[in-house]
Structure 1
Amino acid sequence: MSSKSIYNITPITFRLDLKDPFIFTAHHIDHYPQGNANLGPATPATQQEYNMYYGDVVPGFPEHPHTGFETITLVEQGYVDHFDSLGNGGRYAAGDVQWLSTGHGVEHCEMFPLIHQDKANPFELFQIWFNSSPEQKKQPADYKMFWREHIPHIIHETSQGLKSDVRVISGKFKQQKALERPPHSWAAADENKVNIYLITLDANAELTIPATTSTSTRFAYFYQGSTLNIADTSIGFKHLVELKPDDDIHLIAGDQEARILWLEGEPIGAPVAMRGPFVLNSDTELDQAFLRYRNTRFGKWPWPNNAPVFNRETPRFASYGGGVKKEFPEKV
C-alpha cells in the first residue's frame, strides 16, 4: 500500500470483520432457482447448496434469539419475510433496509420466499452487526423499516453524463440527512457520526467522501465492478479497505459500474463479550443473558411455526406494536 489514507486491504469471501462500533458485516449471495407453490425451490435443494438455507422448505433463518446489538439488513436482490417475538411481522425487498435494535432480547426469523415461479430468484443482502452501548443493551427491542422509496439519495452528474449515487442509510452525506434510526441506537445521535452509505458509480465516474473525525472507524467494501481506485490505490473486486477517517477520500470507478458499502462511526469504547447471537460487555452478563433466555425465551413466540412466511401475493409492509399498526411504503 502506497497511500497514507489506507490502513489495510483485505480480500473478502463472506464476512467483513470490522471495528467498534461495528462488529462485522455478512455479505450474503445465493442464486436460488424458480419457486414452487410453497415458496421454496422448484428443484430439490439441500442446505449444502446455499449459504442461507436453514428452513425445511423456504430458504432463510428460522426462529432464533439476539440481544445486545443491532442488525441492519440492506437487501440488494430478493425478498425477506420478518417475524418476531414482539408480534411484529413484515415483508421487505430489494432496495429496502430493516434496522432492528435487539436491546434486552428478542427472537426473530428471517425467511427468503422464492416469489417468482417463472424465473430464478437471485438473492443478495448485507447484514451489519452494529454494537450498542451498555445502556442501550438494557432497552426494549425495537425495529424500523427504511423503504426504498424514502431512503435519501444524493445523485451527482458530470458534464460528461457520468453519475454517482449515494444512498444515505445512516448519518448524513454532505447536507442530506438519513431517515431517523430507532431511538435506542448508537447511530441515532448525530455526535456519533455513524454514516452508512451504499454508493454506485458509473464506469469511470469519480466521487469524494469528506473527512470525518480522527477518532472514527472507517471502512469501504468494494462489492461490484471490475476495479476501483481509492486514494490513488487500485482496489480489487470484493476487497475491504480500512481508511484514515480524517482524510477526504477520492473514489474513481474502473471500466464497469462500481458499488461500494461505506461504513464509519465513532467507537462506543466499551468492552465486548460475544457468544453466538448475544453481544454484551462481560462473560458474567452473557451467562445471565443465556439464563434469562432459557427462562423467558425473550417473549412468547406468537407464530404458528418457527419458519413462517407470508402468501406469495402479500405486498411489502411492516407491522409494529404487536401487529396493531401496519405500514405500507406508499403510505409512509
Structure 2
Amino acid sequence: MSEQEKISNHEIIYAIQPIEFRLDLKDPFLFTAHHIDHFPIGKEQMQPVTPPTDDKPYRMYYSETGVPGFPEHPHTGFETITFVESGYVDHFDSLGNCGRYGAGDVQWLSTGNGIEHCEMFPLLHTDKENPFELFQIWFNSSPQEKTEDPAYKMMWREHIPHVIETDAQGVKTDIRVVSGEFKSQQALERPKNSWAHAKENKVNIFMIQLDPHAELTIPATTATSNRFCYFYNGPTLEIEGETIPFKHLVELKSDVDIHLKNGTEIGRIMWLEGEPIGAPVAMRGPFVLNSDEELNTAFARYRQTHFGKWPWESTAPVFKRDQPRFASYNKGEEVEYPETAS
C-alpha cells in the first residue's frame, strides 16, 4: 500500500463549505468574491434596460451613469486578481492606467502603498442579454510589499498558458496556469512586488475545466502551504473518492497528490495554493495592513492625499461601446492590445 493510500479522506479533506458569493480563505489569500450577474439587454449608454428579477437576479452598483460597477474607491496593502469569465470590465485608476478586458482575461493589481481605481461593467449588447461572471481574489501582501508603489498588469487570454491533458478515450482536461506552474508549465510573470512573484512561495492559481468523466491529479506542494479547491460548475465532483456538490469550497492537505474525477457534465474549478506570509493581518474595508496603528495612519494619509489625484473626468468612466480590449499604462505612454501583448 502506498503512503497516499494509507491516508484517509478525513486527513486529506479538512473542510467542505457551501458558497453563495464569498470564499473565505487562508494566508496568503484573504478571500475570493464570485459574482454571477444576469444582466439584461443594454441601453445605448450601456445601462440595463430592466431591473433584476427573481429568476434573473443581479447585484447592481449604480454610478452617476447608471452603468453597473464599482465607481472610484481606494485600496492599499494587498492585491486584487480579477478573472472575467463572461462580460466586460472597464478599469481606470489614479496612476493614469486604464483598459477594457473580457472573458478569459485576468487583471493583476498590486495596490501597494495606495491606489484608487474603478471597475465598471458596461453592457455592450443591445440586441441580447449581457451575462456576467467574475472572480476577484483578494491576495495579501507582505509587510515590505505593502510599502511599495502600486502596479497594474493585464494577462490576456491569448497569452495565459494552458496545459491540456487527454486520456486514451479522448476525455480532456484544460488547466489555465494563472500563477505558479503546473507540471513544468510556467505562468506569466506576476508583478515584481507580489508575494506570488517569488517561485519559492509556491503560489499556484489554476482555472480548470474538466470534460464529463475526466480525471486529473494535482501534484503535491509543500506541507506548509494552504490549499483550496472551489467547484463552481457541474453537478458533482469527486475528490479522493468523496463527492463534492456544486458551488462548494474544499480545504485540502497540501503535501499529497490530489485525485479529481468529474461527473456527467463539464466541470469547472478554481484551484488555489500558496505558502503563507505569516504576518499579522489588520483589515478595515479595502485597507489591509499589519496593525490597527498602521490602518489609522493609512486612513489619515488617504484623507490627505486620496492616494494621488484622480485623473479622470468621472468617478465611474466607461469607454465607448466599440472600444476593443486593451490596456493603457501611465497616462497613455504605453498602449497594449491582446495580439501584441508579451
Same fold (TM over 0.5): yes
Partner in structure 2 of residue 27 of structure 1: 34
Q: Quick one: which of 94, 109, 118 aligns to 2:118?
A: 109
- 1:123 aligned onto 2:132: yes
Instruction: Name the amino acid aligned to 1:26.
Output: A
Partner in structure 1 of residue 339 of structure 2: 330
Instruction: Name the amino acid aligned to 1:28.
Output: H
3-state SS of paired residue (1:98): strand
3-state SS of paired residue (1:186): coil
Q: How big is each residue's C-alpha offset from its partner over 1:68-119, in whole Å with a ceiling of 9 and x where there is no partner?
A: 0000001100000000000110000000000000000000000000000110
Q: How many residues align?
A: 331
Q: How big is each residue's C-alpha offset from its partner over 1:140-187, in whole Å with a ceiling of 9 and x where there is no partner?
A: 010100000000000011121100000000000011000000010000
Q: How big is each residue's C-alpha offset from its partner over 1:289-315, in whole Å with a ceiling of 9 and x where there is no partner?
A: 000000000010011111000000000
- 1:293 aligned onto 2:293: no
Q: What displacement does 1:136 show?
A: 0.2
Separation in 1 of the partners of 2:196 and 2:330? 22
Separation in 2 of the partners of 1:54 and 1:234? 40
Separation in 2 of the partners of 1:52 and 1:278? 23
Partner in structure 2 of residue 168 of structure 1: 177
Separation in 1 of the partners of 2:9 and 2:257? 16
Cα separation, partners in 2 of 1:11 and 1:21, compared to 1, 3 Å: same
Q: Is the 8 A contact 1:84 1:108 kept in 2?
A: yes
Partner in structure 2 of residue 74 of structure 1: 83
Q: Is the 8 A contact 1:75 1:96 kept in 2?
A: yes
Separation in 2 of the partners of 1:45 and 1:192? 42
Instruction: Name the amino acid aligned to 2:166.
Output: E
Q: Quick one: which of 294, 297, 316 aligns to 2:325?
A: 316
Separation in 2 of the partners of 1:43 and 1:86? 35
Q: What displacement does 1:20 show?
A: 0.2
Partner in structure 1 of residue 291 of structure 2: 282
Partner in structure 2 of residue 256 of structure 1: 265
Partner in structure 2 of residue 5 of structure 1: 12
3-state SS of paired residue (1:124): strand
Partner in structure 2 of residue 235 of structure 1: 244
- 1:40 aligned onto 2:47: yes
Q: Is the 8 A contact 1:34 1:119 kept in 2?
A: yes
3-state SS of paired residue (1:166): strand
Separation in 1 of the partners of 2:139 and 2:321? 31
Partner in structure 2 of residue 85 of structure 1: 94
3-state SS of paired residue (2:304): helix
Separation in 2 of the partners of 1:214 and 1:82? 38
Separation in 1 of the partners of 2:60 and 2:32? 15
Separation in 1 of the partners of 2:11 and 2:240? 9
Q: Quick one: which of 50, 55, 70 aligns to 2:58?
A: 50
Give the alignment of 1:210-225 within 5 angstroms. Answer: 210-225=219-234
Q: Is the 8 A contact 2:161 2:176 kept in 1?
A: yes
TM-score for both structures, normalised by structure 1: 0.98
Separation in 2 of the partners of 1:37 and 1:226? 37
Q: Is the 8 A contact 2:239 2:261 kept in 1?
A: yes
Moved over 4 A (4+): none
Q: Is the 8 A contact 2:70 2:118 kept in 1?
A: yes
3-state SS of paired residue (2:196): helix
Q: What displacement does 1:231 show?
A: 1.3
TM-score for both structures, normalised by structure 2: 0.95
Cα separation, partners in 2 of 1:19 and 1:82, compared to 1, 3 Å: same
Unaligned runs of 5+ in 2: 1-7
CA RMSD of aligned residues (A): 1.3
Q: Is the 8 A contact 1:3 1:231 kept in 2?
A: no
Separation in 2 of the partners of 1:243 and 1:322? 43
Identity of aligned residues (%): 69
